[in-house]
Amino acid sequence: MRTLLLGSLLLALACSAAAQTKRAPRRTPPPAVPGQQRSREAEDRAGIQKLQDRDIAASMAYDVEALTALWTEDGVLLIPQHAPIVGKEALRAFYEQQRDAMANVEVTAYEEQWQEVRIVGDYAYQWGQIHGRTRKGQGKDETSTVVNALRILKRDEDGAWKVARAIWNEARTATSLGKQEVPPGERP
């Protein structure tokens, strides 16, 4: 019994030592220079805006490849009443399935309104609403949709921002509550 306990203790110490030696040394960033920090933040915000612009264009065209390219390889999408969609290939398959289901639907408007965008190193998060309108076939009637969304973004090795995690749910707009609709960008 004593040998088993001693062996277990040595194994635990060896694993602990191995884990410590395999850990990459922590890089200490150089001290922030106020002008450089503002410049980096401006670059990051411009990169995130570029991601959002690509997202809007891809969504308007419902371009499966462009939508898939917005994601990291290990991206995760959590949507209502659906199993988590994990990884780029699963995201591509989901977008293809949605494209096929929307074969007779035209996206007439798609707008992202992010209430907050925070950048933390190589990650950023944003939350807000996405407003969309679609028209079925040759009809004139449009259907409006508003979703609440939260996204975690990650700076890729090449410096481009991509979506790493996203979750959304349908927003209860003022119209759905029996009140006058609140214009986009205004809070109730």
Task: Report the C-alpha dihedral over residues 139, 65, 45, 113, rounded to 10 degrees.
Answer: 20
Contact 34, 144 (CB under 8 A): no
| pLDDT tens by residue, 52-72 | 999 999 999 999 999 999 999
Domains within the chain, CATH numbers bracketed: 37-177 (3.10.450.50)
List pLDDT tens digits, range 2-19: 333 333 333 343 333 333
C-alpha 134/C-alpha 174 separation (Å) is 20
**Do 51 and 70 form a contact (C-beta atoms < 8 A)?**
yes
* Closest residue by Cα to residue 20 from 29, 12, 28: 12
Of 92, 89, 84, nearest to 63 by C-alpha is 92
SS3 sequence of 37-85: HHHHHHHHHHHHHHHHHHHHHHHHHCCHHHHHHCEEEEEEEECCCCCCE
Whether the pLDDT of residue 167 is over 70: the answer is yes
Q: What is the pLDDT of residues 121-160, one digit of tens each?
A: 999 999 999 999 999 988 888 999 999 999 999 999 999 9
Residue 181 has pLDDT above 50, yes or no: no
Question: Hey, is 141 helix, strand or coil?
Answer: coil
Query: Residue 154: which of 75, 94, 67 has the closest Cα?
Result: 75
Element (H, E) at 120: strand 105-120
Helix (H, G, I), strand (E, B) or coil at 114: strand
